[in-house]
């Protein structure tokens, strides 16, 4: 496999571990790694950049620049926003270049994957944390169950980017941004949440997912809120679980978060479909709540049975105070809310984030006995930009590139890493980095 030049597009917060790992790999194997972004200050302040890595300033949203970059590479790792992956994939097709991303496989990417397969190119997708590590670890569990003659009756997989409890003790939400804040604010607005439970398809309007969040006890870690994530049934056939009665993929938050977030949703703060000519943040707050400040709103909430206990959540946010230099005119409510939450939920330099993932399998043996398997991952960040989120997104992607170049796993076209040839190698490499699942049997 004649891949000598590897390019990473984007050097944002999720890129550090990937660049560090791939740089060391390229040093060992005599390959070259090129990293393209418009600035590298955060990367260089937190991560070791290997001798083989060349950092190049580039504005990747310009088509001509992107084409020129890809033309000189053999393999591309795209850490750009998902909406840019198609432009990258099209350039990779024209320039005969393999492609790796951590993002969900879009319909457009599948179509381009058919063309890539004809050219013998691999377009690997969904190789980050969620999606990514969830696919690798779940596929291993499925194969283990089948090898023991166990029938999979139910499967749940949940993941959350959180913050270490000691770093948010005064924050009733017990949450700070460790990933894309826009995705957090707009959660549920990408369409209905769909899954299967009790043998029947289930559907929730995106606006209702937080109101119907459930509580889940994660072995060894305690209670969490869980809400359904997108369309779980997309993976039913891919996972080979057509016969399972339950198929659910969800998002984890600390207990109590979803009930409080649903209040913001119901009040209209997360609306992204209407641009309003707000005159001030105070008007914006009053129009959504009917109150002049958070204290008045909190007092009202505590008098109502359905909203008791939510007062401290809204007083912590102090939404009516906004932030300095906040311009509200011509913005959606969601954009204003995000700007304020970036201040209230900003990850401090010494804060440690936390990633939690849990798989729950209901299994039936040949003699009819039922058992539940739990597989639990907890990864703690180191502080600063060395976050658990960056580690669990970046390392699987880097290790996937390494696995591909070592010839341990192959594929062409648009691929998702379900196959044993991918998960055996990558999970082993992750375990060497301390990313290890703990198994529980009940």
Give residue-wise pLDDT tens across range 149-158. 999 999 999 9
The per-residue b/e assignment along 316-327, b for 16 or more CB within 10 angstroms, e otherwise, is bbebbebeeeee
**pLDDT grade, residue 1 (50/70/90)?**
low
- Are residues 88 and 158 both part of a single domain? no
Phi, psi of 387 (to 5 degrees): -90, 155
Residue 187 maps to which CATH number?
Answer: 3.30.360.10
- Are residues 211 and 282 both part of a single domain? no
Helical segments of 222-278, H only: 257-266
- Containing H/E element for 53? strand 53-57
- Are residues 221 and 359 both part of a single domain? yes
Is residue 431 a part of any domain in this protein? no
Is residue 436 a part of any domain in this protein? no
CA dihedral 409, 413, 414, 416 (to 10 degrees): -20
In the chain the first and final C-alpha atoms are separated, in Å, by: 46
Is residue 81 a part of any domain in this protein? yes
Phi, psi of 436 (to 5 degrees): -130, 135
- Are residues 339 and 367 both part of a single domain? no
The parent domain of residue 16 ranges over 5-125
Question: pLDDT tens across 345-386, in order?
Answer: 998 888 999 999 999 999 999 999 999 999 999 999 998 889
Does the pLDDT at position 222 exceed 90?
yes
With H, G, I as helix, E, B as strand and everything else as coil, classify residue 144: helix
Distance CA 226, CA 217 (A): 10
- Confidence at residue 24, expressed as pLDDT on a 0 to 100 scale: 95
Query: In the chain, how many domains are there?
Result: 3
Query: What's the half-sphere exposure (Cβ side, CA atoms, 13 Å) at 14?
Result: 26
* pTM for this model (two decimals): 0.94
- Confidence at residue 349, expressed as pLDDT on a 0 to 100 scale: 86
Does the pLDDT at position 282 exceed 70?
yes
Angle among Cα 178, 358, 370 to the nearest 5 degrees reads: 170
Question: pLDDT tens across 6-25, in order?
Answer: 999 999 888 999 999 999 99
Q: What DSSP designation does 129 have?
A: B
- Confidence at residue 180, expressed as pLDDT on a 0 to 100 scale: 86
Residues with Cβ within 8 Å of 173's Cβ and at least 6 positions away in sequence, in order, are 254, 256, 257, 260, 313, 316, 345
Does the pLDDT at position 442 exceed 90?
no
Of 125, 143, 164, the domain-final residue: 125
- Are residues 246 and 362 both part of a single domain? yes
Does the pLDDT at position 412 exceed 70?
yes
């Amino acid at each position: 496999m004649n891949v000598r030049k590897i390019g990473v597009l984007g050097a944002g917060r999720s890129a550090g571990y990937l660049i560090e790992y791939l740089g060391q790999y390229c040093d060992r194997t005599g390959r070259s790694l090129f990293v393209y972004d418009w600035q590298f200050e955060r990367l260089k302040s937190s991560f070791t950049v290997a001798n083989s890595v060349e950092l190049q300033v580039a504005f990747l949203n310009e088509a001509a620049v992107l084409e020129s970059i890809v033309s000189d590479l053999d393999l591309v790792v795209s850490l750009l926003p998902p909406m840019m992956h198609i432009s990258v994939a099209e350039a990779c097709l024209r320039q005969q270049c393999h492609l790796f991303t951590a993002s969900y496989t879009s319909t457009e990417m599948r179509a381009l994957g058919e063309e890539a397969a004809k050219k013998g190119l691999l377009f690997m997708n969904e190789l980050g944390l969620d999606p990514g590590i969830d696919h690798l670890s779940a596929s291993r569990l499925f194969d283990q169950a089948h090898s023991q003659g166990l029938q999979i009756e139910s499967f749940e997989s949940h993941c959350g980017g959180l913050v270490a409890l000691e770093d948010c003790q005064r924050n009733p939400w017990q949450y700070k941004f460790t990933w894309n804040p826009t995705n957090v604010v707009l959660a549920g607005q990408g369409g209905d949440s769909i899954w299967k439970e009790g043998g029947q398809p289930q559907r929730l309007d995106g606006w209702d997912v937080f109101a119907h969040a459930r509580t889940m006890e994660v072995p060894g870690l305690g209670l969490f809120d869980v809400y359904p994530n997108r369309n779980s049934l997309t993976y039913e056939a891919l996972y080979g679980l057509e016969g399972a009665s339950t198929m659910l993929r969800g998002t984890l938050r600390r207990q109590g978060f979803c009930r409080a977030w649903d209040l913001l949703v119901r009040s209209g703060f997360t609306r992204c479909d209407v641009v309003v000519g707000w005159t001030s943040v105070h008007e914006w707050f009053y129009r959504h709540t009917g109150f002049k400040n958070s204290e008045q709103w909190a007092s009202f909430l505590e008098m109502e049975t359905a909203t008791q206990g939510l007062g401290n959540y809204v007083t912590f946010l102090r939404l009516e105070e906004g932030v300095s230099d906040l311009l509200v005119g011509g913005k959606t409510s969601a954009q204003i809310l995000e700007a304020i939450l970036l201040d209230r939920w900003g990850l401090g330099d010494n804060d440690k984030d936390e990633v939690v993932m849990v798989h729950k399998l209901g299994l039936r043996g040949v003699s009819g006995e039922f058992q539940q398997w739990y597989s639990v991952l907890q990864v703690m960040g180191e502080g600063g930009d060395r976050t658990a989120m960056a580690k669990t997104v970046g390392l699987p992607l880097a290790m996937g590139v390494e696995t591909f170049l070592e010839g341990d796993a192959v594929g062409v076209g648009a691929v998702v890493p379900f196959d044993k040839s991918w998960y055996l190698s990558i999970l082993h490499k992750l375990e060497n980095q301390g990313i290890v699942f703990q198994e529980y049997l009940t």
